[in-house]
Amino acid sequence: MASGSAEGARRPIYQRVLLKLSGEALVGNDAHGIDAERLGAVAEEIAVCHSLGVQIAIVVGGGNIFRGVAGSASGMDRATADYMGMIATIMNAVSLQDALEKAGMNTRVQSAINVQEVAEPYIRRRAIRHLEKGRIVVFAAGTGNPFFTTDTAAALRGLEIGADALLMAKKKHEGVYDADPEENPEAVLLREVTHREALERGLKVMDSTALALCMDYGLPILVFSMRDPGNIGRILLGERIGTVVSCGPDATRGNEGGES
């Protein structure tokens, strides 16, 4: 993160963003679960970004607790596995809410499945009102439907709340590469790519359903690493970090036929 004086001299280039956090972003040295120290560090970084005056909504995954695709692959019914994954995201969302409020941020969790004892139901207008009042909103339980990932939930919620950009935080990689860096050490980091090119080349930005939704409605995606503290704030202040997935010349935000 830039120094305090430098931050004061610069203004964020986004008014409202949707931050997609993987469940793995909350893991410490262990392979699973929630690490309290890591959770606190993530919350503190988000709090600093919120202090810039940016409205922040968050979609959090559940892969650190349970991954529906993995459960399905092991023989579990896919719909059942996906619902278990949604419950895992609620656990992460409530944990993140607690950490954010300890960092001084008023936070609301909205869930796509009914868990009224611990979270509000997802209501679009209420979510927008929370953001306008300076609260952070954490969206849990994905879209509320099996067979859809939290990537798709992030794209959907980002469009529903009118976010200026979708921020995809990765645990390991710096952005989008021209090949899988896990398999090819020669993979090259791409600094900018269009939605259509990412789809056609099968680049690992997010799942294809979510990527197509962002393309259709012109929602830019910024893919970056969470390994370096302060990266979220740098992006909000306009620094080019990671990969920008641009709308492309033929994309129109609020595509005709869609609801504004």
- pLDDT tens for residues 42-80? 999 999 999 999 999 999 999 888 876 666 667 789 999
pLDDT single digits (tens) 137-186: 999 999 999 999 999 999 999 999 999 999 999 877 889 999 888 888 89
Distances (CA, A) of 107 to 54, 55, 122, 127, 135: 14, 12, 14, 11, 5
User: Measured between alpha carbons, how far is 59 from 143 in angstroms, rounded to an integer?
Assistant: 10
**189 CB burial (10 A radius; 0-12, 13-18, 19+):** middle
The structure's pTM equals 0.88
Beta bridge partners of 138: 58, 109
8 A C-beta contact, residue 202 and residue 252: no
Q: In the block, which residue shows the tokens 């989008």?
A: 176
Average pLDDT over residues 91-116: 97
The amino acid that residue 17 corresponds to is V
**Percent above pLDDT 70 for the chain:** 88
Report the pLDDT value the prediction gives residue 75, as an integer from 0 to 100: 77
Average pLDDT over residues 92-115: 97
Torsion of CA 208, 214, 220, 225, to 10 degrees: -40
Confidence check: pLDDT of 131 > 50? yes
What is the overall mean pLDDT for the chain? 88
Torsion of CA 41, 71, 160, 16, to 10 degrees: 10
Complete DSSP assignment for 199-243: HHHT-SSS-HHHHHHHHHTT--EEEEESSSTTHHHHHHTT---SE
